[in-house]
Amino acid sequence: MTETTTYRPTGTDDASLRDGSIPAATPEPGLRWRAPWLGAIVALPVYLVLQLLCLAFGWLGPERGDATSGIVSAVLGVVALLVGGAACGATSHTRTAPGTALLEGAATWALTVLAVVGLGLAGAGSLVGSLGGAATTLGTGAAPTAEGVQHAAGWAALWLGVAFVAAIAGSLATREAGAAVRRRH
């Protein structure tokens, strides 16, 4: 005879399960890395495809000038991280607390930024936009002016902050929707 095991949430007894009600799930503390990795894996190709489309349409490129290319690239990064954050939130664990969703969105942002900088250092700076291009320039030892570096760092910090907020907003916006879908199944 095969023994069956019944799932019983912590703090429940047989009487509370007999009436057919399902006890409220308590949020589990801690960051689960599955969702942030998925968010970063989604955000990076979205960013690359958007960059390639903008290059193909002539909206990006060396002939466009640094300011225009930098702004377009930054906006594309914000859009990609919003999509990556949404993927992160939608796949987050059912009983994730809102604070954990913030951490997962932040982790998605961090993993994506590390990937973009890594690709820039690996020589794919033109594909991954201004941040990757800056990493390529720093990796080659080119000597930019101090004023140029300060200006670029200020704008990079601003757009990275906006992208950070976008990743968190995407994660929070889809967290409940993803949990609702999982509860129905």
13 located within any domain: no
Query: Which comes out higher in pLDDT, residue 59 or 34?
Result: 34
Q: pLDDT tens for residues 6-31?
A: 444 555 555 555 555 555 555 555 67
pLDDT value for 7: 46
178 located within any domain: yes
Q: How far is CA 170 from CA 16, 45, 101, 108, 139, in A?
A: 36, 17, 10, 10, 32
pLDDT value for 45: 93
pLDDT value for 40: 94
For residue 30, give both structure tokens: 């801690």
76 located within any domain: yes
Number of compact structural domains in the chain: 1
Residues 6+ apart with CB under 8 A from 120: 128, 131, 132, 133, 134, 135, 136, 139
Q: pLDDT tens for residues 119-158?
A: 877 776 555 555 555 554 544 455 567 777 787 788 888 8
CB atoms within 10 A of CB 20: 6
The residue segments making up the domain with residue 180 are 30-184
pLDDT value for 92: 78
150 located within any domain: yes
Confidence of residue 37 (pLDDT cuts 50, 70, 90): very high
9 located within any domain: no
44 located within any domain: yes
86 located within any domain: yes
Q: pLDDT tens for residues 70-125?
A: 788 889 999 999 999 999 988 876 555 667 888 888 999 999 999 888 887 777 65
36 located within any domain: yes
